[in-house]
Amino acid sequence: MFSFFWVLMGGASLAVSQTSDQSESWCYDWGESSEAVSVLEGEVCWLSCPLFSHPSVYNYTSTQSAGHALFWYRLPHGHALEEPLLLSSRLSKDRERLWLQPAEVMDGGNYICMLRNKSSCSKISIRLTVTRRDNVVVHGDRCQLPVAVATTKAIIPLQVSDTLECPDLQEAAKMSDVGPPNVTWYQRCRRYPFGNSDRQQQGTSLRFHTMVASYQGLYVCTINYSRNGRTLSFTRSINVTAVYPPWVPKEPSILFPALEHVSIVRAGSEVRLLCRGLFPFILRKPLKDMWWTVDGKMLEHLTDHHRFSHTVSEVHEDFGDLTLESVLLVQDFLSADLSREFNCSVRNDRGFETRRVQLQEEVLLPSVELGCILGVTLLLMFSLFIIYHVFWLEILLIYRSWFGTDETHTDHKDYDVYISYVRNSEEENFVLFTLRRVLENELRYSVCIFDRDSLPGGTITDETLSFVSRSRRLLVVLSGDYGCRGSQALLELQAGIDSMARVGNLRVILIQYRQTPRNWPPLRELRRARLALVLIRWKGAESEQLTSRFWKRLRVELPVRRGGAMRKADQLDSENQLSLKETSEQKSLVTTSGEREHEHECSLIQS
């Protein structure tokens, strides 16, 4: 473990008071000096009398010629009276200095140096702090120095060779009585050599053949010398900083605003104009100036200068190059200020640059009006979505009534609807007394029902195909018995699907009157056209009203009707319907052998 030494140099804060000692002479007490000395236990240190810090007041040679003598006293910690120093080989005087070779923990306290002769006396105290060695901590390759240790600074340009000298080496050379002192160098607690050839110790100096960024950091040098047969030492630390080399351009430049940059400002508000300047490192030339002008005048020379103020702050430092920011604050920015010329300027010993800030007034958008319009638009869209979601059937019906095309003028067909259902079942009552009645009497559609509209003596298959081809819609009333109690319904369904697939002038509409089983036989036919078929469900009493969803959904799928008389359905009365029903029962007895086999298959599925 090597030791550390620190001397804090500063102006002495001297409190002047006049006291008298027990002799006859008066002694001016300058109080305690701001210069304080801190040393590590076992280190060599010296105390310089602060009275000689200002040669214009006291000079050691002139005071000796005038008969003044320098005396040292010590005021230990916790004592009120000073004690005279007993000089020895460890504690000695050399002109205006008091040497401790080495310092011990018990040496801490205030030391008083007194300069006096028979007619005058002056004294001042200086504090000495001795730090124990066990208070110095070393972590890995980073040394944590005591708080009292000060560090000198050294600047070396990149890619340049330079030499580090250990401070106060000549003081050790004066005190050494056996040969010159030697120096040991450390960096990050690693002793020289450092593992590369760019840094080489030459005698007591450390030579940097080529400075690179990684060589920055804290360097420690320990000076060892011999005196009175003892080896003594003290340590100094140097913080090495790399800067850009001398051949790098050193003229200042403005980084922001760029030439094409435009600052957006708002009239009537507080405006902040930013300027960022780069000042390259210049050795021994510390001039760095940054300012604003308005219309070519400094801010303090403006008639309305109370509206303008600026601040300058340091942003960062990179290898000695310093970046500064200046903010021009304009209170209550006026529209007339847009035509004024705002310039930011930077200057150092090597050059000068100025740049104008381009201004543009902010276009204020009517935020309240836009917010209201956006809110109303969103509310309207949401309302329309809700209305369409709830009343989409009504909307479609209104659209069809105004813009729909009446198919009766183009297709030359006789019937609007052909109804296919299971005979002698609950569905037949639904078709004859509910579905037919509403379609013909209320909605004014021409309806074709085979048992009612067919003539006796004809062929069932031919007439069925003829009726289906002459109809615009095929309305299939589904139930679990559909296709299992006769072949007439299946024939109608097959004819409708084939006509829809081949010709395309017929649409098939499915009405689910009752729930159908999963293994329902007509599913094979329906799966073939499932994408083109429409399924509407009858929900009993809920669907009886003409304003129910069932009838609206059915009207959307049926042809557009713009009025006019019904054709054959209006000519039939209820008695004729009963006679046609009896005829249809007789026709249903005539079936082919293939139809009987199909009925047998359906009966097996139901069982």
Single out the catalytic residue among 104, 492, 575, 595: 492
Token pair in block for residue 413: 């067909």
φ, ψ for residue 346 (rounded to 5)?
-130, 150
Q: Is 492 a catalytic residue?
A: yes
For tokens 């009752």, what's the residue?
514
Kindly compute the dihedral angle of the four CA atoms of residues 139, 143, 148, 153, in this order, to the nearest 10 degrees.
-150
Token pair in block for residue 373: 């319009």
Compute the distance between CA of residue 400 and CA of residue 561 in angstroms, rounded to an integer: 9
Q: How far apart are the first and last CA of the chain?
A: 105
**Neighbouring-strand partners of residue 508:** 474
* C-beta of residue 223 within 8 angstroms of C-beta of residue 183: yes
Token pair in block for residue 606: 């139901």
* C-beta of residue 240 within 8 angstroms of C-beta of residue 154: yes
Compute the distance between CA of residue 128 and CA of residue 50 in angstroms, rounded to an integer: 13
* C-beta of residue 157 within 8 angstroms of C-beta of residue 211: yes
Neighbouring CB atoms inside 10 A of 215's CB total: 18
Half-sphere exposure of 76 (CA within 13 A, CB side): 9
Neighbouring CB atoms inside 10 A of 500's CB total: 17
Residues 6+ apart with CB under 8 A from 201: 183, 185, 192, 193, 207
- CA-nearest of 552, 569, 511 to 401 is 552
Compute the distance between CA of residue 543 and CA of residue 553 in angstroms, rounded to an integer: 11
The identity of residue 605, as a single letter, is: I
Which DSSP letter does residue 221 get?
Answer: E
Catalytic sites, residue numbers: 492
